[in-house]
Structure 1
Amino acid sequence: MKVIVQKFGGTSVSSRPMREKAIMHIEAAMQEGYSVVVVVSAMGRIGEPYATDTLLNLIASEDIVSARDQDLLMSCGETISAVIFGAMLRGRGHEVTVLTGGQAGIATTSDFGNARIAKIDPERIMKELEQNRIVVVTGFQGMTREGETTTLGRGGSDTSATALGVALDAEFVDIFTDVDGIMTADPNIVQDARRLTHLTYTEIANFASQGAKVIHPRAVELAMQKNIPIRVRSTESNDPGTLVTSGVHFLEARPANDKILTGVTHSKNLTQIKVRSHAAQTGFQNLVFRSMAENGISVDFFNVTPEEVVYTVPNTHVKQAVAALHALDLEVQTIPNVAKVAAVGAGIHGVPGVMARIVEALTEEKIEILQSADSNTTIWCLVHENDMVKALRAIHDKFNL
């Protein structure tokens, strides 16, 4: 049995015409001989009646709502979406079984609001597929050993889809969205951004973690464990989209100017924090990071030296972070409204001159680099947020993306 998992996001199931387009992709996969498992998100985005954020707004004015009860509410969006989608499939003559995350065998931890998948028992799904039924599964949700409904956090439907793909040993996991695939940059910022035909898991994970919102990083990590190929596709076209896999041969198939850098992405609404001790204080770095952890503040993009600690936090956490550091009698400087610009490419590692070209591109635009770091596949530069658009365009142009 050849299994394919197809996930349709909120915009893909938001209206009847969009759901009809989604069903055409399911029928096309069936004609190619696949048994299809469909994973659906809640319908639409905030403001639309059954979107997750709209449901959350129903309890926004309530003082006491338990995390458990909130998960029950949030899971309703996907349930509504799955039932309606299943009904439309039946209307076209298909045999369909609709399952909640728990019924589909998705067992999770009890961390309400951000549960992790502990294991998946695919037996129920396999029995339904063997009866030539399409299986529609609610994304974003699972169930604890005690039978409690949980949700998987932001990007949870992506996670549901790839986890099911791994459990079912799927041929592909298709992530259908409102774009044609992964682009070399945000096309709203870089007008000549183009679609990438192939990406490695590491590249797309870096794209996703640095601000590109096409797929959640956790979903990529799951698919990578078993090398299940992911295709990021548009619901509104038959274009093959972007194929994500571990295959190095895909890198070799790229045009020559695509081998070093794959694309650029960004994350903003950040503040850079620089911390110094008033005197030579052994272990002050430990005090800094422990205080952030104790205050529930996530730190990113950090550089540590004997004299100084530099890192970023979301703008919304700056006051709390600074207050915690002042309480430790530490010297604090902040630069608000900064942005991380990330240059991503599996071909970066071991190639001389990549950073030189990035610095050259930014210098030509008189953009100040506040901080930088690198990994095997990514080079990050911190810039003032009002320079972010220029920085993205400059790097994109410098590498002929």
Structure 2
Amino acid sequence: MPNIVVQKFGGSSVATEERREQVIDKIINAINQGYKPVIVVSAIGREGAPYATDTLINFAQDVYETIDPRAKDLLMSCGEIISTVIITQALRKRGYEAEPLTGAQASIITDENFGDTRIKEINARRILDVLEENKIPVVAGFQGISENGEITTLGRGGSDTTACALGAALHAEMVEIYTDVEGVMTADPRIVPNAKTLKHVTYNEVCELAYQGARVLHPRAAEIAMRERVPVIVRSTFSDAQGTVISDAFKQDDIEIKGDRPVSGVTSRSNMALFKILPQKEVEKHILLESASVLGCFRELAGEGISVDFINVRPDLITFMVNNDVVEEACDLLTAKGYKYELFEDFAKISVVGAGMTGVPGIMARVVDALTEEEIAIYQTTDSHTTISCLIKIEDEAKGLQALHDKFSLGD
């Protein structure tokens, strides 16, 4: 079916009646342009709002301290389902036929890794049938159903993933991600006041920005869009701004990104902790490196779903970083397995991202110059074909972001 557009609206976009009317305006505008919209919605509002996902979880945990993962997924799926009904009714009130669908009803099939499932396949027939009836499908984001009939959720940012996966399954002309900002920005404007909206970024760039901490598009959603070559536009629900186009194209405003825009944005991940793994006993340095019992810590951590970063393996030293929210879990695991370690907290990972930096000399030097000019200590660096990251103390994070943003003239 031609002319399908998937429109995803986040929790802030559907939080109030006034905002929901703006959502309906965006949907009607797509119809007037000749598109057949498929809507994906998040739960209403953020933590504290009565139907927000976090509010529902807190309500249950106030009564019972722990909730098993299967039951928790049932609970967490409720917020998006409520949103589908509310948006459907708002469309009907404006004279447009719509049909609300849960993830299960939309045939979004997942595995059973409750709380963080992966989409295995989507049977688009039900949604296509709704479209053929000249109705607007309103699909609950963030959720699906396993092959065994279990309700599952996709983890944080899962509605983005739902939208991009539906875009691929429906062969949509584009996926529009509506949010409370005007697009993908060169930096977080709450930290860097002169941050600007980018008119275009590549799939690789948005994937890297997402992985390095930017809250522009969930990394899994970006991966699906890149793999399936689904054009994505990130734009604001509350303005008519053009937004940011995410695609394969390697140009922005006729400027060759590779030469004239080596860096597209700066971002960071706060609250990271450094682990230093110590030898099990006094041994020669080369024994430490060859010791499977020591290097096995990475296998143990991965087995518990703990992601590590900034891995550094030297003959006399093994270090790595984890997010603060898993420090306690990592400590418990390492202690239980008999590893000796030292822990250092209050670090941040600060990154510059750009598809155009590949093969361009001097980018790392400019990054180091920007930070050292502000007397910011650099504890470690990593360099890939699209990203350069530095480990710094968390108290220098905001200053470091501004320094890098200015060094690469991203606010000009």
Task: Report the TM-score range of the alignment, normalised by the length of the smaller protein.
Answer: over 0.9
Superposition RMSD on alpha carbons, in Å? Answer: 1.9
Deviates more, 1:254-263 or 1:368-377: 254-263
Task: Classify 1:329/1:153 alpha carbon distance in 2 versus 1 (closer, same or farther; 3 Å).
Answer: closer
CA distance in 2, matches of 1:25, 1:273: 48
Deviations 1:83-103 (A, max 9, x none): 010001001111111111111
- The change in CA–CA distance for 1:302 and 1:255 in structure 2 (over 3 A counts) is closer
Which stretch has the larger CA shift, 2-11 or 276-285?
276-285
Distance in 1 separating the partners of 2:208 and 2:265: 10
Deviation at 1:67, TM superposition (A): 1.7
Bigger CA drift: 324-333 or 192-201? 324-333
Task: In structure 1, give the amino acid aligned to 2:9.
Answer: F
**What secondary structure, in the 3-state scheme, does the structure 2 residue paired with 1:12 have?**
coil
What is the match of residue 76 of structure 2? 74
The aligned counterpart of 2:371 is 362
Secondary structure of the corresponding residue to residue 347 of structure 1:
helix
Secondary structure in 2 aligned to 1:355?
helix
SS of residue paired to 1:60 = helix
Q: Does 1:34 align with 2:38?
A: no
Q: Distance in 2 between matches of 1:200 and 1:391?
A: 25
Contact preservation (8 Å) 2:231, 2:247:
yes
* Residue 279 (structure 1) shift: 2.0
For 1:1-400, what aligned pairs fall within 5 Å after superposition? 1-61=2-62, 62-250=64-252, 253=255, 259-277=261-279, 278-280=282-284, 281=287, 282-283=290-291, 285-293=294-302, 296-322=305-331, 325=334, 332-400=341-409
Cα deviation 1:115-154 (Å, max 9, x = unaligned): 1111001011111112221111011111112222111111
Moved more, 131-140 or 5-14: 131-140
Q: What CA distance in whole angstroms lies between the structure 2 residues aligned with 1:251 and 1:307? A: 50
TM-score (norm 2): 0.93
Q: 1:355 to 1:21 in 2, by over 3 A?
A: same
Deviation, structure 1 residue 296: 4.9
SS of the residue aligned with 2:215?
Answer: coil
Q: Which moved more, 1:286-295 or 1:233-242?
A: 286-295
Is the CA contact (8 Å cut-off) linking 2:14 and 2:23 kept in structure 1?
yes
Cα distance in 1 between the residues matched to 2:300 and 2:66 = 28
Identity %: 48
Aligned residues of 1:257 and 1:400 also touching (Cα < 8 A):
no
> For residues 155 and 198 of structure 1, what CA distance do their matches in structure 2 show?
21
Q: Is the 8 A contact 1:172 1:231 kept in 2?
A: yes
Aligned partner of residue 12 in structure 2, secondary structure? helix
Q: Comparing 283-292 with 387-396, which one deviates more in the overlay?
A: 283-292
Give the deviation of 1:334 after TM superposition: 3.2
Cα gap change, 1:331 to 1:368, in 2 (>3 Å) = farther
CA contact (8 A) 2:231 2:245 kept: yes
- Cα distance 1:181–1:314, how it changes in 2: closer, same or farther (>3 A)? same
Aligned length, in residue pairs: 401
Q: In structure 2, what residue type is equivalent to 1:246?
A: D
Displacement after TM superposition at 1:210 (Å) = 1.2
Supply the distance in 2 between the matched residues of 1:392 and 1:385 (Cα, whole angstroms). Answer: 11
